[in-house]
Amino acid sequence: MTPSTDSRNTSAKEWVVEDVAAGTFRIDRTTLIDEAVFEREMASVFGRCWLYVGHESEIPKPGDFKARDVGNRPLIFWHGHDGAKRVLYNSCRHRGALVCRIPEGNARGMSCFYHAWTYNSTGALNGVPGDEGYGEHFDRAAMGLLSPPKVDNYRGFYFVCFDPGAVGLKTYLAGAADYIDLVADQADDLEVVPGAHEYSMDANWKLFVENSLDGYHLLPLHKTYFTYLEEREGNTLDRDDTTEALDLGNGHAVICVHGPWARPVARWTPALGEHNRPQVEAKYQELVERYGSERAQMIGLTDRNLLVFPNLIINDIMGVVIRTITPTAAGHTKIHQWSLATAGEDPDLRARRLDSYIAFQGPAGLATPDDLEACEACQAGLRTAPDVTWSDISRGMHREHAGQPSMASDELQMRAFWRRWQSLLD
């Protein structure tokens, strides 16, 4: 099959081709390099799906705010002085300028620098210089900052949807909600650690999604990290350890691995320090008492990478890392990430948690640069798309369609993503 020369009008059925009998699942590489495809995605995927904005702990006090781009739309995540947490469009109702031009802070109100229209922390317009120039019919109450059509949160994770006809958040999350629960149940009081990592890659956003769910690349690509881990603690990752990949519905997916690294919530290794061992083991016992041994093991001892389609990755491995994906062009993507931890955590345990996170997942760590290089190498190789048309995502199809469990090194999780992507673009 030859890809269409006009991707604006091409059916996505031509781009994602699954042949169960042959055991093949192929992706037309046009979908990863074409700007017209990117424009369709921004309307059909990012314009219709629920997108992650932030965690409630990031704006704990009235007036606290974060300014963020979500789906390439500028938003303000703001804790109003009336007690409500809101998501507002970061755009003055007068001429459209950004109202908030700093990434975070605390404010009772914000004033647009252009003409000084001023809004309070609920988004209401409460100041217009020279408002007599608008006459008696000017309705200030109707000119406050607007909110996206749908805003909701699940277990403290806030999402927005720009499609007023979309299903509710809980319905949308489908099976992914269960895995968010496994994060939220780690402690009664979780908080995003102050500070964030922000970086970008010269590659398509879907390559980053694939990489985030790909258990097949761990040993060959991250050899340096696992050598370091083995030399430091004597721990190794065995590809044949119990692993699992699951399609959670609506494009969401997860891989579960029993890894060799420490988990401050419940799994002690020497990296956490001998003096921290009692409190880590006590935490695990607390989980057992609260949830039972089977669920405690899922919460505390199983490592997971979760995709909430399309823009949220939760890496729950040596700690919890929240990553958001913001596509800016067919060949460019921005990534933001934060660490989520137990509030009031022992300072030494917190430091060791962050050290482990930065060593593996930080943008200058031993793994993330590998991942970004791999994605950018793929993007460079995709320049051959006119001649080398297809990418293969067939690994494990024989297990999937035989009803057998899929392993994390399979590609069921990527197929779940691409099937949902295809359905939205058509």
pLDDT of residue 1: 39
| Cis amide leading into 278 (omega within 30) | no
Q: What's the mean pLDDT when you consider all of the chain?
A: 92
Residue 141 CB partners (closer than 8 Å, separation 6+): 124, 125
What's the rounded mean pLDDT across residues 185-192?
A: 96
pLDDT at 235: 64
- Residue with the bigger pLDDT between 150 and 272: it is 150
Tell me the pLDDT band of 239, cut-offs 50, 70 and 90.
low
Q: What is the pLDDT of residue 242?
A: 54
Provide, rounded to the nearest whole percent, the portion of the chain with pLDDT above 90: 77
Q: What is the pLDDT of residues 15-60, one digit of tens each?
A: 999 999 999 999 999 999 999 999 999 999 999 999 999 999 999 9
Say which residue, 257 or 296, is predicted with more confidence: 296
Sign of the C-alpha dihedral, residues 14, 213, 308, 376?
Answer: negative
pLDDT on residue 4: 43
Say if residue 8's pLDDT is above 80.
Answer: no
Amino acid 164: pLDDT? 98
Which band of pLDDT confidence, cut at 50, 70 and 90, is reported for residue 233? low
Return the DSSP state at 50. Answer: -
Count of C-beta atoms within a 10 Å radius of residue 397 = 21
- What does the pLDDT average to over 308-315? 97
Domains of the chain: 51-165 (2.102.10.10), 175-425 (3.90.380.10)
Q: Residue 5: which pLDDT band, with cuts at 50, 70 and 90?
A: low
What mean pLDDT comes out for the span 182-194? Answer: 96
Q: Shortest CA distance to 251 belongs to which of 21, 26, 44, 11?
A: 44
* Interval 112-140: pLDDT, tens: 999 999 999 999 999 999 988 998 889 99
pTM of the predicted protein model? 0.94
Gap between the Cα atoms of 56 and 338, Å rounded: 13
